[in-house]
């Protein structure tokens, strides 16, 4: 064998070994990526000797599908929202996880572990208001609809998801019946009739930062918002309050694209991020709840009580039904868009 051929083989062997010792982790970027670097990426690299290459994306499943279909997967772990996790698992875009690596399911918020995913954080869509702008505190969605007691604009996310659920809550439907109602034409009609009552008082938001801006400027008296956004505003000194009654929570997860060349290391990374000591850093900085129930004991009690996963807060919340939105989301969003567009 020629020396050049031997050299090429050695280089290939070294390159293959180097690849086995690094993983590419893709999240949603922004401030969360910075926190994930401190909470997960650097500690995992230090503990395991495996380098983490951090990237970001906007959640577009098309990129993952293209990688998998062309067998050119160069992402090892991706952060996904629950509907994308469900669809991706069903379509074979994500690897099944070795559940034995992930610990005892009883240690986690229900819904954290699934066939193809492991939760990284719990986020909530909740009502928020500016404590400096209202004379009395709203306590639930019935108050959100009460424009006499709480005059002024209110803000909802511009979409069927969350808007239809809270409309039915405001109309007195118990949590257990929300999705039963929305699975029927009568229930959907009921939700839209309820939204009709305050349509002229709604200032819609589309980006996560907008609700905090609307509250700060006094444009609205109350709004739906991601709880982490409210947490960040509170940390900066704003007198914003959260109403946990009627909040809706969901879990973002890690998943491994099918065909990852580093599946074993990727699973080790995911298991590492679920540990309470690593979840603690993530939770403390972002204000989103930990998926690990043992994290609360490591947090300052005052901070733990502010989280969406605090027992008192979680007991007032409803988990979003992701299967429902996977199956019915397209038709309901189309109807919602048509409803918004109508002037009367």
Task: Write the pLDDT tens digit of every residue in 137-173.
Answer: 999 999 999 999 999 999 999 999 999 999 999 999 9
Answer with the residue of higher pLDDT: 319 or 19.
319
36: nearest Cα among 22, 52, 23: 52
Report residue 31's pLDDT band, with 50, 70 and 90 as the boundaries: confident
Question: What are the residues whose beta carbons fall under 8 Å from the beta carbon of 104, sequence distance 6 or more?
Answer: none
Residue pair 205/156 in contact by the 8 Å Cβ criterion = yes
Q: Residue 13 has what pLDDT? A: 38
At 83, the pLDDT band (50, 70, 90 cuts) reads: very high
The pLDDT, as a whole number, for residue 21 is: 82
Percent pLDDT > 90 in the chain is 88
pLDDT for the residue numbered 111: 92
Distance between CA atoms of 209 and 254, rounded to whole angstroms? 24
| pLDDT for residue 18 is more than 80 | no
pLDDT for the residue 309: 94
Separation between Cα atoms, residue 167 and residue 207, nearest integer Å: 21
How sure is the predictor about 191, in pLDDT bands with cuts at 50, 70 and 90?
Answer: very high
Residues 279-304: what's their mean pLDDT?
A: 95
Question: What average pLDDT does the structure give for the chain?
Answer: 92
pLDDT at 124 over 60: yes
At residue 32 the predicted structure's pLDDT band, cuts being 50, 70 and 90, is confident
Query: Distances from the Cα of 124 to the Cαs of 5, 140, 195, 289, 327, in angstroms?
Result: 57, 15, 21, 9, 21
Stretch among 19-28, 86-95, 120-129, 144-153 having the lowest mean pLDDT: 19-28
- How much is the average pLDDT of 225-254? 95
pLDDT at 122 over 80: yes
- What class has domain 3-122+251-314? alpha beta
Q: Averaged over 210-222, what is the pLDDT?
A: 95
In sequence order, what DSSP letters do the residues of 149-206 get, joined into one string?
Answer: TS-S-EE-BSSHHHHHHHHHHHTT--HHHHHHHHTSHHHHHHHHHHHHHHGGGB--B-
d(CA 133, CA 238): 12
Give this prediction's pTM: 0.87
Instruction: Name the residue with tokens 């599908």.
Output: 65
Percentage of the chain lying above the pLDDT 70 cut: 94
The answer to whether the 3-122+251-314 and 125-248+322-341 domains have the same CATH topology is yes
Confidence of residue 14 (pLDDT cuts 50, 70, 90): very low
Quote the CA–CA distance of 220 and 129 in Å, as a whole number: 9
Q: Kindly tell me if the per-residue pLDDT of 8 is higher than 60.
A: no
**Domain 125-248+322-341 fold:** D-Maltodextrin-Binding Protein; domain 2 (3.40.190)
pLDDT in the model for residue 3: 45
Q: Please report, for the chain, the start and end positions of each structural domain, with discontinuous segments joined by +.
A: 3-122+251-314, 125-248+322-341
Q: At residue 17, does pLDDT exceed 90?
A: no
Confidence of residue 11 (pLDDT cuts 50, 70, 90): very low
């Amino acid at each position: 064998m020629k020396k050049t051929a031997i050299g090429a083989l050695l280089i290939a062997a070294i390159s293959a070994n180097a690849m086995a010792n690094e993983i590419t982790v893709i999240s949603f970027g922004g401030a969360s990526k910075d926190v994930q670097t401190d909470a997960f990426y650097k500690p995992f690299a230090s503990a395991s000797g495996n380098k983490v290459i951090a990237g970001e994306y906007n959640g577009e499943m098309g990129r993952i599908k293209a990688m998998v279909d062309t067998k050119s997967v160069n992402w090892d772990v991706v952060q996904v929202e629950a509907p994308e996790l469900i669809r991706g698992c069903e379509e074979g875009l994500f690897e099944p996880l070795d559940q034995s690596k992930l610990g005892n399911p009883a240690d986690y918020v229900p819904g954290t572990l699934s066939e193809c995913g492991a939760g990284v954080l719990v986020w909530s869509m909740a009502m928020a208001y500016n404590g400096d702008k209202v004379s009395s505190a709203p306590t639930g969605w019935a108050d959100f609809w009460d424009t006499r007691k709480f005059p002024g604009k209110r803000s909802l996310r511009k979409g069927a998801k969350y808007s239809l659920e809270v409309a039915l809550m405001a109309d007195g439907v118990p949590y257990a019946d929300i999705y039963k109602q929305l699975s029927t034409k009568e229930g959907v009609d009921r939700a839209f009739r309820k939204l009709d009552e305050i349509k002229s008082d709604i200032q819609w938001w589309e980006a996560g930062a907008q609700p905090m801006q609307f509250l700060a400027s006094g444009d609205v008296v109350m709004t739906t918002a991601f709880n982490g956004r409210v947490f960040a505003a509170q940390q900066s000194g704003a007198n914003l309050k959260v109403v946990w009654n009627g909040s809706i929570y969901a879990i973002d997860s890690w998943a491994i694209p099918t065909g990852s060349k580093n599946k074993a290391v990727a699973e080790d990374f995911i298991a590492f991020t679920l540990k309470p000591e690593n979840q603690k850093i993530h939770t403390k900085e972002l204000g989103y709840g930990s998926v690990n129930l043992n994290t609360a004991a490591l947090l300052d009690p005052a901070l733990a009580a502010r989280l969406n996963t605090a027992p008192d807060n979680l007991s007032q919340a409803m988990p979003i039904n992701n299967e429902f939105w996977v199956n019915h989301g397209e038709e309901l969003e189309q109807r919602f868009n048509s409803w918004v567009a109508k002037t009367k």
